[in-house]
Structure 1
Amino acid sequence: MTRLAFFVLIAITASAADITTARAAAAVVAVNSPLQAPLAPSPSDPFPLWLQELTGQTRWPGETPPYIPMPNIDLSQVPNEIPRRDLGVCQGIERSHCSFDCYRCVAVDDISTCPTLSQTFDDGPSMHTPKLLMELEYKTTFFTQGINVVRYPDIFRQQHMAGHLLATHTWSHAHLPGLSNEDIVAQLQWSIWAMNATAGIVPKYFRPPYGAIDDRVRSISRQFGLVAVFWDRDSYDWRLNDDSKLVEEVVKDIVSWKQESQGGLILEHDSTVKTVNAGINVSRMLGPSQLTVAECINSNWYQNQ
């Protein structure tokens, strides 16, 4: 059994003492870290009883989830000499900290490319994801936000039933290097709980928002059994939303990458109608030979597989 499978089982089989401790910790966090307005749970997906007992919460949190201490997450092992930093700020970050967003540093257990040029999609599920699912002729990788998983549980299950690889993109797209250790844990644990409660899966792969990571963040994500995944081909499709990039430019990039015949992981998004339409165009250009991230490295899809 993997460490994270054990982590999920704890949530289901925790003793009364563990539940009491977790509830007390949640109460402290609730006082010190006010949450944003909670999401309304889906009528078909009530907040799980086992998660109520573990966390002391009665519904899914807003964008700032509470930290729930877990016995197999040891924050004393985190290298706290690496400073917290704001988005886009690299001052004080050394190359030895292995920051992908600052220095494109990739750790030995990270994934950043694929032998076959393949799409990946971030930020969903969204109301536009089903259109993409209808058009795809191959299995792809979706890096999902937990907050969107519980907003659109039926779409998330549709992705799973269609056989796509589902991975975590944190709970609410937080810039992890700017968070405390506890808040990094919260972003990961709540995203995992959302995926497990909705489709019964325990993710193995994790893409940090903005590609923002360093060895402090890795030391926490590894304790969850997560493998960090990046990209080496950026479509910049998010710029389609404000018309600062044209679909024709995205297509031009894909043609160039395809001609290079060097493989790669393409960063795309399934969050808006424009990015989904672009993703459909790219999928038709690349065809069904694409791979999921797990297939890129010939490994398991999930930790509870």
Structure 2
Amino acid sequence: MIIYRAVQTALLAGFFLKSGECLASNGSTALIGDEDMQTPFPEWLKEFTNITQWPGLDPPYIPLDYIDLTKVPEFERYQSGRCPNISREQCSFDCYNCVDVDDVTSCFKLSQTFDDGPTPATETLLENLRHRTTFFVLGINTVSFPHIYESVVERGHLVGTHTWSHAFLPSLSNEEIVAQIEWSIWAMNATGKHFPKYFRPPYGAIDNRVRAIVKQFGLTVVLWDHDTFDWKLITNDKLRTEEQIFKDIETWKSQRKGLILEHDGARRTVDLAIKINKLVGNDQLTVAECIGDTDYIERYD
């Protein structure tokens, strides 16, 4: 059996240790999901996929009868940072800040959102929150730390999908994009007994090809209008400091609205999130509350 690695916020920074573990901000290696503690691979998923265990970082493509790839526009695939070659027609958020009319980009109250969990660091954040918030989780982390995921749900927070393993979706084939999304949903099905309604693309990397696939799952794309760039603290980027982030928070508070992008994949960013929460206060909303919609497409008994 595979021991599944927790994908930490360091994914955003793009560095790994040889074992696939990620270096945490305190200089120690992040905890690895214990195989014995994972969400059990459900029988219904074994029957449907003919697979007997959760996949590694690259999940296999399983065709779904409600996903029609012939309806996906044939835009060119691109790698991170290759924006000059991308047409405006593709409506790339990561390249041109282009958004679709159905994308959620803001909120009428200033509200925090968190990507890349659940991880052991998430537990500290949960202990310090006194309001509902939104977590966009990785499927591979969900099955690796099911008890933390369950704690998020039990405390009433909203959970959306952030793909299976934090892939840069525009660089993938249509089938690979489907795999990243379907396995993340199955992880949430098996662990939290619900079908997510909200989706946030890793790196904000989304164009109309990716959107066409995401929408066939019934998911609503959620982006942001305030970025803390908190992950840069993990890489010790001297161009981004806590003081600069707090200054930005004060500016955003004066505007009284927006969705703040943060991460709960590492203790360093969680410690910062707790400080930001004190600055923003508890009068915050989940993404569903921001747009007056339901929390999940479906809940299961």
Q: TM-score normalised to the size of structure 1? A: 0.85
Could you tell me how far apart the structure 2 residues matched to 1:241 and 1:97 are?
Answer: 32
Q: What secondary structure sits across from 1:303 in the alignment?
A: strand
Q: Between Structure 1 and Structure 2, which shows a larger proportion of helix residues?
A: 1
Cα deviations by residue, 1:110-129 (Å, 9 ceiling, x for unpaired): 00011111100000011100
Residues 112 and 230 of structure 1 are in contact (CA less than 8 Å); yes or no, is this contact kept in structure 2? yes
What is the CA distance between 1:148 and its match in structure 2? 0.4
Structure 2 unaligned runs (5+)? 1-19, 21-32
What is the CA distance between 1:96 and its match in structure 2? 1.7
Could you tell me how far apart the structure 1 residues matched to 2:36 and 2:226 are?
Answer: 36
Could you tell me how far apart the structure 2 residues matched to 1:209 and 1:45 are?
Answer: 23
Confirm whether residue 138 of structure 1 aligns to residue 131 of structure 2. yes
> After superposition, where does 1:20-169 map in structure 2 within 5 Å?
41-43=35-37, 45-80=39-74, 82-169=75-162
Give 2:253's aligned residue: 258
Could you tell me how far apart the structure 2 residues matched to 1:76 and 1:272 are?
Answer: 39
Which AA in structure 1 matches 2:167? A
What is the CA distance between 1:46 and its match in structure 2? 1.7
Cα deviations by residue, 1:36-82 (Å, 9 ceiling, x for unpaired): 9xx864446321011111111111000000000011111111111x1
Give 1:220's aligned residue: 213
Which AA in structure 1 matches 2:288? A
Cα deviations by residue, 1:72-114 (Å, 9 ceiling, x for unpaired): 111111111x100011111332212111111111101100011
Confirm whether residue 291 of structure 1 aligns to residue 285 of structure 2. yes
Q: What secondary structure sits across from 1:202 in the alignment?
A: strand
Residues 41 and 47 of structure 1 are in contact (CA less than 8 Å); yes or no, is this contact kept in structure 2? no
Residues 119 and 290 of structure 1 are in contact (CA less than 8 Å); yes or no, is this contact kept in structure 2? yes
Structure 1 unaligned runs (5+)? 1-35
Give 2:172's aligned residue: 179
Larger radius of gyration, structure 1 or 2?
1
1:179 to 1:217, Cα distance in 2 relative to 1, 3 A: same
Could you tell me how far apart the structure 2 residues matched to 1:260 and 1:226 are?
Answer: 29
Which AA in structure 1 matches 2:79? D
Could you tell me how far apart the structure 1 residues matched to 2:236 and 2:95 are?
Answer: 27
Residues 38 and 143 of structure 2 are in contact (CA less than 8 Å); yes or no, is this contact kept in structure 1? no
Bigger relative CO (Cα 8 Å, ≥ 6 apart)? 2
Q: TM-score normalised to the size of structure 2? A: 0.86
1:40 to 1:68, Cα distance in 2 relative to 1, 3 A: farther
Residues 79 and 216 of structure 1 are in contact (CA less than 8 Å); yes or no, is this contact kept in structure 2? yes
What is the CA distance between 1:242 and its match in structure 2? 2.4
